[in-house]
Amino acid sequence: MSKGRQRPIIFLISPPTRANSRYIPSSLLSLSAWLDKEGIANNIVDVKIKRDPFAAMKKSDIDEIQRKIVEEIKSARPLFVGISCYTTEYTTVMPLARLIKENCHTTIIIGGLHATLRPEDFIFEDSPVDFVVIGEGEITLAELLRVSLKGSPLEDVKGIAFMRQDRLVRTQDRERIQDLGLLPRPAYEKLNMEYYLKPTRYLVRLLLLSGLHILTTRGCPHQCTFCANRMKKVTYRPIADVVDELKWLKKNYYIDSFYIADDTFCIRKERVYEFIELLGEIPYNSIWAMETTVKSIDEKMIRQLKKAGCIQIDFGVESGSQEALNRMKKGITVEEIEETFRLCRRYGIRTYANVMFNTPEEREEDVQKTINLMKQIRATNYGINLTVPFVGTEVYEKYVSPKLTKDEYYIYNDPDLLYHSIPDKRFRLAKHNLDLPRLYTKVLLRFTLLRAILDITLNRHYWLTLLRSKRRLDYIIYFIEGLKRQARVFYRYFIRFISKKEIIQQ
């Protein structure tokens, strides 16, 4: 904390499990910016370590990160600490909260998706957590801090949970923010931006680039049974604000690319065309990508996106079986998938297809139809995973029995086991008897091995962007290191496949 700077009232903590993530912590940036606007001094603690992105953390890593977080809190002595938490982070966030409580004696607030879905997992007798923020956090957190400092009745704060006389009190839900234009620009300056701007293959999937993820909407209207998103109504940022943010990022951080991480960016076509028009006013173009659904896009839009510098579109394909798609409530058809990928190939836009096996009630013929569709659509890259029934999803409620206890959330911890095997027998959703980890590895090697090791595009705009970049030397270094890393990863999968020693916890 610099000399003369106001002591933070609250520290916003990025969980230890994100210490090797290259995804920018958007929720913390938005919370911090809103608190700044409200005149509430705050800071972000985002400890990083040098490890492969998305690799499972070792216990020694977690311990070291927790120690650093506690040291920062003890040094600054904030009155409050806020921690974000996904289900996959529960078993590291709760010990961290207890460690902070024991060493720093501060008020601890938990927010995020799991806190919204299951506040009772955090608020119980002898819990180190004092408050849970439910839903969108900006307005709720600012109000909670003010009320707590004044000693006013907590029941007047909408969207929180806390303990009162040995019982959980949950206040009235807070209305969502309808106009996202009220939110200030994310507080990027509070992060080590050089870490996030190092070239990576996890921004535009598997294509080496330096840049950032951005959001232009919140919520998703779709009903996919494997998704825990409860915000079914979509709210929107003004497109002018989005483009202004991109201009600011170019001016201050020289970004080469960006990825629109909205679930539903293309749901309103007029917004897409407005974005394309305003993006053209930026002095020099960027490489960018996005994700959307095959139903939300058409030939005219694909053509315009290509002209505007969009190099890749990610789609949730999930399955090549119409029956499986219907069971997952995807709301799309196999024919729409085939046509959209054909149009993307026609206009030279790279594609990324998310595909899942172990879908609800999956049969062998569903598996074969999915493999046949993968051959048909010829996506540039594939994201292949086994379906995971996360807490809060329809598939979890329908198929997982008995339900997981808090002590069993460790099952979600290791992404290598979670998405590539069946870490718990309750997680097997398929009806067939195929060896799912072996199926996963076989399909992975068949469709992604070469691309994952070496992804070369002939897109002229991409190479001009790299040549103009202020990080040209970084690209060379990370390209070489990335080749070595990916070769090691896929060697491990290959050995696992041929030796038939998949790690399965029954």
Name the residue ranges covered by the structural domains of the chain. Answer: 10-170, 197-499
DSSP 403: P
Instruction: Determine the pLDDT at residue 501.
Output: 47
DSSP 150: H
Strand partners, 209: 200
- Is the separation of the CB atoms in 44 and 75 below 8 Å? no
Residues 119-162 pLDDT 10s: 999 999 999 999 999 999 999 999 999 999 999 999 999 999 99
Angle at 266 between CA 263 and CA 269, to 5 degrees: 155
10-170 classified as CATH 3.40.50.2300 = no
Residues 204-251 pLDDT 10s: 988 889 999 999 999 999 999 999 887 889 999 999 999 999 999 999
Instruction: Determine the pLDDT at residue 399.
Output: 97
197-499 classified as CATH 3.80.30.20 = yes
Q: Which two tokens stand for residue 407?
A: 């002590």
Q: Which residues of the chain have pLDDT under 50?
A: 1-4, 500-506
Q: Which residues contact 485 (CB under 8 A, 6 or more apart)?
A: 52
How many whole angstroms separate alpha carbon 245 and alpha carbon 255? 11
CA nearest 395: which of 451, 324, 338, 345?
324
How many whole angstroms separate alpha carbon 290 and alpha carbon 277? 17
Q: Which two tokens stand for residue 375?
A: 């051959």
Q: Which residues contact 107 (CB under 8 A, 6 or more apart)?
A: 79, 80, 81, 130, 131, 148
Instruction: Determine the pLDDT at residue 493.
Output: 64
Q: What residue ranges in 207-330 does DSSP mark as E strands?
A: 207-209, 211-214, 217-218, 235-236, 257-260, 287-292, 310-318
Strand partners, 498: none
Write the DSSP assignment of 328-363 as a string of letters: TT----HHHHHHHHHHHHHTT-EEEEEEEES-TT--
Instruction: Determine the pLDDT at residue 5.
Output: 58
Task: State the residue for tokens 């493999």.
Answer: 371
- Is the separation of the CB atoms in 322 and 335 below 8 Å? no
Instruction: Determine the pLDDT at residue 1.
Output: 41
Query: Prior bond to 221 cis, omega within 30?
Result: no
pTM: 0.91
Instruction: Determine the pLDDT at residue 74.
Output: 95
Instruction: Determine the pLDDT at residue 378.
Output: 96
CA nearest 105: which of 89, 134, 141, 81?
81
Nearest 5°: phi and psi at 289? -145, 170
Q: What is the CA radius of gyration of the chain?
A: 23
Residues 293-317 pLDDT 10s: 999 999 999 999 999 999 999 999 9
Instruction: Determine the pLDDT at residue 497.
Output: 60
Residue 321 vs residues 49, 107, 172: alpha-carbon distances, Å: 42, 50, 42
Instruction: Determine the pLDDT at residue 417.
Output: 87
Angle between helix axes 299-307 and 269-279 (nearest 10 degrees) is 20
Cα dihedral sign, 344-259-295-358: positive
Q: Which residues contact 460 (CB under 8 A, 6 or more apart)?
A: none
Nearest 5°: phi and psi at 476? -65, -45
Angle at 414 between CA 408 and CA 420, to 5 degrees: 110
H or E element that contains 477: helix 472-499
